Structure 1
Amino acid sequence: MQFKVIIGQERVKQQLVQTVKENRISHAQLFLSPAGSGAVPLAIAYAQYINCLNKGENDSCGECSSCRKYERLIHPDLHFSYPFFASASVKTAVDVLEEWRGMVMQDPYFDMDIWRSKLDAANKQANINIAECHDIIKKLSYKAFEAETKVLIMWLPEYLDKAGNALLKLIEEPPANTLFILIAQSQDQILTTILSRTQIVKIPKLSSEEVTGYLLNASGLSEHQAIDYSFLADGNLIEAKALAADTQSDSSGTFTAWLRMGFSNKVPDLIEFTDEAAKWGRENQKNFLKYGVNYLRECCLILSGAEELVKLPPLTFETAKKLSTHVLTLPMAEAIIGELEKAHYHIERNANPKILFLDVSLQLVKIIKFKTLPAGTQYIYN
């Protein structure tokens, strides 16, 4: 995998390339990144660049024998470790290596839910167990077969638990020419003993522009849809892809129209909206409600006088500003957010969507039209 195929992260790419050029590669690195930001492809591209036989100025050649093996994830000196679901037939990560390779080669942007779907998870808990730790120690004790540097990429070391202490000596004093790359999402969940032995490389979430550009090029969406989905995904490319594949169109237009129905107390229109929303399917309903929560949080920033922090695209921002000026107040927006979050919770638990959306619609009327807020909420007049 080459840096050039990875979306965004130009600063991180340059930083990684410079460590190779200046021969200051830390033997244990922790790539700390939010989900969907591209940490896994970055780690693979970094390892490929390190072992490339004909390095370019900013990327591996993609053609030498080492690169060709890296592209298929079959290089004998490239090792992976990751959470798995132990069973009688699955004792270490190697036992599901083919499933791992297939998933990464199909799409290197994935999360634990996607990985779980590739395996026979049943009701078991995923972890990186002591047997896997011992297997890592064994693999890395051998000499490199072909490459100058052996590389172990561990995805989600948060799943190590106390078993990870078995790796401490290996991480602190590894064999010569050995590189550990740990890819984590939550620094607080990593064993402090491991954390203290690694150099942290912070990988930011993707920008809205980068996600929008990807959606426009890869998904055939309109610019308006791509901008909306990018806003909703908030830098998570995994979520952006899911939205592009399975969501109803024009989230912003539909949501603001719904708010206006509540403000105008158009009950027949609200009932018609409820009937339509009930047909969307659970994932689309969840995405719509999540969009509403994010949209109203941006409105709260406008109402609080922090317009410079708003991330809405220009046209949607103008609509949000009008709603905030003429319809909403801060307590009202907060109350509606509370109703939408409750609705999202119940949709996840298979609530009847027709009843649920009608109930939320009537709550909108109470909050926006009649200014009746939930108990405990203080209403502040403009």
Structure 2
Amino acid sequence: MSWSTIVGQERVKALLKRTLQNGQIAHAYLFFGPEGIGKDALALEFARTLICTGGGIESCGVCPQCRRMDSFQHPNVKLVFALPAGKNETNGDDPINVLTDAQVANVREQLSVKAKDPYHRIEIPKANFIKINSVRDIKREAAMSRSEEGRKIFIIFNADMMSTEAGNSLLKTLEEPLPGTVLLLTTSAKDQLLPTIVSRCQLIQCDLVSEKEIESALISRDHVATALARVISQLANGSYSNARRLSLQNMAEERKEVVEFMRLVLGRRKTALIDAIDELASSSDRPATERWLKLLQSWLRDALLVQHHAPAPLLEDEKQSIENFNKNFPQADLVTAVQSVEKAIAHLDKNVYLHLILTTLAIELRTTITETQPV
């Protein structure tokens, strides 16, 4: 791993490199921002660079410190995350030793995946919160003499999952930091942390990843076809993890639904259009509805590019539909059509009645596309 393996986040990487260059390392950092944008990856690489024997702003990747960090085997770096409660677990118990053999095996497997893929979210059955014993371990291990030279680093993934007791225990550690100890917290829900914890951390706000950065990463790292990567990048909401999940889904059916919706909007089968709107509006899955609207928007954007003879890498299953559309509606105002979908997505975010959003969208699309045609 290195800074270059983190998708996007150039501003944050530059900030962390300046911190390393200045040598003014705070005792606690909180990496926050939406899910799947690389907070854990940033925290891990920051920790790796801090323990690297090179002592620069880039980890060397070859020294014993870096190599042990790569497999999460470095004695000075401890990872804290949600674990299941052990049977008859009491305060002071080792949070791992109280687990069953199967649970321990699962933890090891999750850590192995995380070591290879910093974007992987550690998920263990029945691990609903970060236990107080896990946080107490931080204070105990921080006070112990080091088996290795250098800082002791504790990384708390998804710190918002701390129980109330764990949060209060961590607060005491933050209030009385031990020399040579660095805490790195990550969260997608900063407002769920105790305000006093937030106030005692150096805040690192992480950015959404741009569509271009996501598209490039999908193509080069995940071997996604260029046309599909472009579509997925528009649906990912700035999250590389989201994009990777979408790349594993078969969106062919959703794309067919988009084309069929456009046919109904522009055709004469009003009853069929009403039925389609009713079915779409009945969904309680708002993220899926937003994804569908963004697919529609992407289809219209591609049609706009083709209309203006601009290069557009099209998916095989949409080439024919877009060519037919532009042939039948050569003067369609597709800029306004794209804006209509954008407005519908904005209304969705404001919890406007979904049936009204879709009905209004259908009317606007029909008007925008059909009324601009020559008589």
Question: How does the TM-score come out when normalised to structure 2?
Answer: 0.71
Tell me the equivalent position of 1:2.
2
Confirm whether residue 120 of structure 1 aligns to residue 125 of structure 2: yes
Tell me the equivalent position of 1:258.
261
CA drift of 1:249 comes to 3.8
Residues 240-259 of structure 1: matches in 2 within 5 Å? 240-249=243-252, 255-259=258-262
Q: Distance in 1 between matches of 2:150 and 2:248?
A: 42
Q: Distance in 1 between matches of 2:64 and 2:230?
A: 41
**Structure 2 counterpart SS, 1:201:** strand
Confirm whether residue 368 of structure 1 aligns to residue 362 of structure 2: yes
Q: Is the 8 A contact 1:55 1:61 kept in 2?
A: no
Q: Distance in 2 between matches of 1:86 and 1:44?
A: 26
Tell me the equivalent position of 1:24.
24
Tell me the equivalent position of 2:72.
73
**Structure 2 counterpart SS, 1:165:** helix
Confirm whether residue 208 of structure 1 aligns to residue 211 of structure 2: yes
Tell me the equivalent position of 2:149.
147
Change (3 A) 1:323 1:255: farther
**Structure 2 counterpart SS, 1:181:** strand
Q: Is the 8 A contact 1:19 1:25 kept in 2?
A: yes
Q: How many residues align?
A: 322
Tell me the equivalent position of 1:105.
115
**Structure 2 counterpart SS, 1:200:** strand
Q: Is the 8 A contact 1:4 1:59 kept in 2?
A: no
**Structure 1 counterpart SS, 2:333:** helix
Q: Is the 8 A contact 2:337 2:364 kept in 1?
A: no
Percent sequence identity is: 26
Tell me the equivalent position of 1:306.
none
Q: Distance in 1 between matches of 2:135 and 2:36?
A: 26
> Could you say what the CA RMSD is over the residues aligned between the two structures, in angstroms?
4.3
What 5-or-longer segments of structure 1 have no aligned partner? 300-312, 344-359, 372-382
| Larger displacement relative to structure 2 (245-254 or 328-337) | 328-337
Confirm whether residue 225 of structure 1 aligns to residue 225 of structure 2: no
Residues 189-200 of structure 1: matches in 2 within 5 Å? 189-200=192-203
Q: Is the 8 A contact 2:52 2:59 kept in 1?
A: yes
Q: 2:148 is matched by which residue type in structure 1? A: E
| Larger displacement relative to structure 2 (239-248 or 74-83) | 239-248
Q: Is the 8 A contact 2:31 2:185 kept in 1?
A: yes
Q: Distance in 1 between matches of 2:255 and 2:228?
A: 9
Q: Is the 8 A contact 1:328 1:368 kept in 2?
A: no
CA drift of 1:288 comes to 6.1
Q: 2:79 is matched by which residue type in structure 1? A: F
Q: Is the 8 A contact 1:251 1:288 kept in 2?
A: no
Q: 2:224 is matched by which residue type in structure 1? A: L
Change (3 A) 1:29 1:236: same
| Larger displacement relative to structure 2 (251-260 or 47-56) | 251-260
Tell me the equivalent position of 1:289.
289
Confirm whether residue 88 of structure 1 aligns to residue 87 of structure 2: yes
CA drift of 1:159 comes to 1.6
Q: Distance in 2 between matches of 1:228 and 1:333?
A: 19
Q: Is the 8 A contact 2:290 2:348 kept in 1?
A: no
Q: 1:83 is matched by which residue type in structure 2? A: A
Q: String of CA shifts for 1:115-156, please: whole Å, max 9, x gaps.
A: 33xx332xxx61112222222221211122213100000011
CA drift of 1:314 comes to 9.2
Q: Distance in 2 between matches of 1:108 and 1:158?
A: 18
Q: Distance in 1 between matches of 2:53 and 2:340?
A: 62
